[in-house]
């Protein structure tokens, strides 16, 4: 049986490597990881950018570099050009023995106030050691935005696995080889398992590539694999039903997008809604998968929590499969 499953998988892989849409799906996890790294800031990066004159006041530059991102320019005109760019950079320019803040006028008030305070503290010669404040953190070691994007992309990759299965089944229908499985010793179960392999492997390999490239490679991989596998069951079921009911590749690819709605609903519910609204999303498996992945990515999840979230996802996915199973069996006849 394993040899037959392997043969079906190898056949799908060869076909996918020759198809542009399938190739795009196979390599999109790496592209997403690179884009997340490019466009999400690090947690230690400041959101305040200052523009100063190069060589004007080295001690001031050293002082401000402790609290903000400092860029140096040779002339005041260059400082002005930098301030006029789209981001919220503030220039600190010498004038009549003192300094003034050069702003574009649309900077957030908090950033302008922060620049004023830094300038005042420097003039008053106040150092970090003289503060009486204490720092309390929430033990966050990764940028929240980056974690949210990576978590969402993990769920998206599991859907892409289902989409790949749907494309392969449509391709079988186009070659008129789907009904032939009833005449081969492989059997329907072997066929279903063989067709599922490439979707599951895409979810696993794609997710591993994503977390390594984005710097989450130290998370508990066993916990992540558990949540990933139970989430993939839903995508596989939907992938089969969409492949069997679609007449061409574009229709199958479009139909599988129906899973994007519950995915986005689950993410937005957790990230944007209050506790009183959460119960309205308990039906959504992506909601629970997102909560589980969030604990894993923040390295704060216990096995009991991961088992609970995975069990809920498995239960909901099982109910969906029981609903779709008769249609899948009928489509394979």
Whether residue 46 is predicted with pLDDT greater than 60 in this model: the reply is no
Whether residue 220 is predicted with pLDDT greater than 70 in this model: the reply is yes
Whether residue 332 is predicted with pLDDT greater than 90 in this model: the reply is no
The residue-averaged pLDDT of 52-81 equals 88
Q: Which residues contact 186 (CB under 8 A, 6 or more apart)?
A: 4, 8, 194
What is the end-to-end Cα distance of the chain in Å, rounded? 20
Task: Quote the CA–CA distance of 223 and 44 in Å, as a whole number.
Answer: 27
The residue ranges of every structural domain in the chain are: 1-40+143-332, 46-130
- Cα angle value 280/284/287 (rounded, 5°): 90
Whether residue 303 is predicted with pLDDT greater than 80 in this model: the reply is yes
pLDDT for 311: 92
Whether residue 43 is predicted with pLDDT greater than 60 in this model: the reply is no
| Structure confidence by residue, pLDDT tens digits, 176-217 | 666 666 666 666 777 777 778 888 888 888 889 888 888 888
**CATH dotted code for 46-130:** 3.40.190
Task: Quote the CA–CA distance of 287 and 41 in Å, as a whole number.
Answer: 25
Most confident of 8-22, 28-42, 185-199, 306-320: 306-320
pLDDT for 298: 83
Task: Quote the CA–CA distance of 240 and 327 in Å, as a whole number.
Answer: 10
Whether residue 131 is predicted with pLDDT greater than 90 in this model: the reply is no
pLDDT for 138: 57
Of the candidates 50, 45, 63, the one whose C-alpha atom is nearest the C-alpha of residue 115 is 50
pLDDT for 95: 86
pLDDT for 137: 58
User: Strands 69-73, 89-95: parallel, antiparallel or unpaired by DSSP?
Assistant: unpaired
How long is the chain? 333
User: pLDDT band for position 136 (50/70/90)?
Assistant: low
Of the candidates 128, 131, 152, 148, the one whose C-alpha atom is nearest the C-alpha of residue 140 is 148
The residue-averaged pLDDT of 86-96 equals 84
| Tokens representing residue 254 in the block | 């479009």
Higher local confidence (pLDDT), 137 or 55: 55
Whether residue 44 is predicted with pLDDT greater than 90 in this model: the reply is no
pLDDT for 310: 92
Higher local confidence (pLDDT), 42 or 226: 226
Task: Quote the CA–CA distance of 116 and 120 in Å, as a whole number.
Answer: 6
The whole-chain average pLDDT of the chain stands at 80
Residue listed under structure tokens 């498996």 = 285
Task: Quote the CA–CA distance of 125 and 259 in Å, as a whole number.
Answer: 58
| Structure confidence by residue, pLDDT tens digits, 253-282 | 666 677 788 888 888 888 888 778 888 999
| Tokens representing residue 136 in the block | 């309390």
The residue-averaged pLDDT of 120-133 equals 77
Q: Element (H or E) spanning 58, and its range?
A: helix 58-64
pLDDT for 192: 75
Helix (H/G/I), strand (E/B), else coil: 26: helix
pLDDT for 191: 76
């Amino acid at each position: 049986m394993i040899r037959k499953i392997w043969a079906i998988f190898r056949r799908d892989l060869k076909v996918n490597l020759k198809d542009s849409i399938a190739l795009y799906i196979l390599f999109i996890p790496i592209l997403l990881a690179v884009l997340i790294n490019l466009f999400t800031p690090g947690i230690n990066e400041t959101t305040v950018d200052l523009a100063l004159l190069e060589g004007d006041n080295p001690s001031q530059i050293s002082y401000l570099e402790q609290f903000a991102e400092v860029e140096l320019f040779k002339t005041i005109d260059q400082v002005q050009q930098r301030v006029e760019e789209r981001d919220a950079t503030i220039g600190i320019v010498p004038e009549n023995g003192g300094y003034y803040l050069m702003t574009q006028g649309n900077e957030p008030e908090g950033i302008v106030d922060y620049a004023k305070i830094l300038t005042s503290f420097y003039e008053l010669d106040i150092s970090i050691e003289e503060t009486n404040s204490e720092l309390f953190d929430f033990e966050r070691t990764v940028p929240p935005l980056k974690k949210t994007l990576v978590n969402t992309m993990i769920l998206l990759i599991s859907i892409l696995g289902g989409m790949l299965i749907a494309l392969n089944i449509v391709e079988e229908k186009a070659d008129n080889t789907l009904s032939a499985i009833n005449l081969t010793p492989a059997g329907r179960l072997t066929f279903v398992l063989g067709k599922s392999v490439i979707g599951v492997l895409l979810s696993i390999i794609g997710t591993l590539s994503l977390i390594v490239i984005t710097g989450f490679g130290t998370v508990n991989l066993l916990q992540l694999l558990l949540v990933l596998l139970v989430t993939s069951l839903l995508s596989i079921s939907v992938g089969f039903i969409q492949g069997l009911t679609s007449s061409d590749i574009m229709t199958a690819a479009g139909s599988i997008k129906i899973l994007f709605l519950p995915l986005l609903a689950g993410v937005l519910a957790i990230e944007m809604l209050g506790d009183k609204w959460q119960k309205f999303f308990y039906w959504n498996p992506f909601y629970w998968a997102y909560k589980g992945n969030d604990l894993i990515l923040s390295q704060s999840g216990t096995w009991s929590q991961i088992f609970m979230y995975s069990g809920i996802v498995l239960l909901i996915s099982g109910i969906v499969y029981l609903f779709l199973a008769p249609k899948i069996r009928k489509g394979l006849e």
